[in-house]
Amino acid sequence: MALVVDIKKTLPNFNLEVAFEATREKMALLGTSGSGKSMTLKCIAGIEKPAAGKIVLDGQILFDSNKGIDLPPQKRQVGYLFQQYALFPNMTVEENIACGTRQMGWIKRQKAVAAMVERMKLGGQEKKRPAELSGGQQQRVALARILINNPKLLMLDEPFSALDSHLRWQLELELIEVLESYGGTSLLVSHKQDEVYRLSDSVCVLNDGYAERKKPVRDLFEAPSTLSECLILGLKNISRARAIDDYTVDAIDWGARLSTNNVVPTCISHVVVKEDDLVFANGVVSNNITCMINQVIDDVTSTVVMLTTPGGGNGDSRLQIRVPKTYGASLNRSERLRLHIAPSKVMLVSQAK
Partner 1 sequence: MDFFPLLNSIRIALISTIAVFFLGIFFAYHISRANKVIKGFLDVFLTLPLVLPPTVVGYLIIRILGPNHPIGIFFQDLFGIKLVMVWWSAIFATVIISFPLMYRTVRGAFEAFDETLAYSGQTLGLSNTFIFWRIRMPYCRQGILAGTVLAFARALGEFGATIMIAGYIPGNTATIATTVYQYWRINNDEMALRWVIINIAISAVVLLAVNMLEKRNLTIRTKNAV
- Contacts with partner 1 by CB under 8 A lie at 42, 45-47, 72-80, 82, 84-86, 88-90, 99-100, 102, 130-131, 135, 138, 145-146, 149, 162
Q: How far is the CB of 4 from partner 1 (least distance, A)?
A: 19
* 308 phi/psi in degrees, rounded to 5: -110, 160
Q: How far apart are CA 244 and CA 241, in angstroms?
A: 9
Q: Which is nearer to partner 1, 169 or 327 (CB)?
A: 169
Q: Which is nearer to partner 1, 70 or 250 (CB)?
A: 70
* 234 phi/psi in degrees, rounded to 5: 80, 15
Q: Which is nearer to partner 1, 160 or 254 (CB)?
A: 160
Question: What are the DSSP calls for 53-116, one per residue?
Answer: EEEEETTEEEEETTTTEE--GGGT-EEEE-TTTT--TTS-HHHHHHTT--S--HHHHHHHHHHH
Q: Which is nearer to partner 1, 91 or 231 (CB)?
A: 91
CA-closest candidate to residue 292, choices 263, 331, 238, 262 = 331
CA-closest candidate to residue 19, choices 72, 46, 55 = 55
Cα-based distances in Å from 255 to 56, 105, 223, 310, 318: 49, 72, 23, 8, 12
For residue 313, count CB atoms less than 10 angstroms from its CB and return exposed for 0-12, middle for 13-18, buried for 19 or more. Answer: middle
Q: How far is the CB of 56 from partner 1 (least distance, A)?
A: 18
Q: How far is the CB of 99 from partner 1 (least distance, A)?
A: 5
Q: How far is the CB of 47 from partner 1 (least distance, A)?
A: 5
Are 31 and 205 in contact by the 8 Å Cβ rule? The answer is yes
Q: Which is nearer to partner 1, 152 or 214 (CB)?
A: 152
Q: Is 152 helix (H, G, I), strand (E, B) or coil?
A: coil
Q: Is 295 helix (H, G, I), strand (E, B) or coil?
A: strand
Q: How far is the CB of 33 from partner 1 (least distance, A)?
A: 17
Q: Which is nearer to partner 1, 140 or 345 (CB)?
A: 140
Q: How far is the CB of 14 from partner 1 (least distance, A)?
A: 22
Q: Which is nearer to partner 1, 100 or 184 (CB)?
A: 100
Q: How far is the CB of 158 from partner 1 (least distance, A)?
A: 13
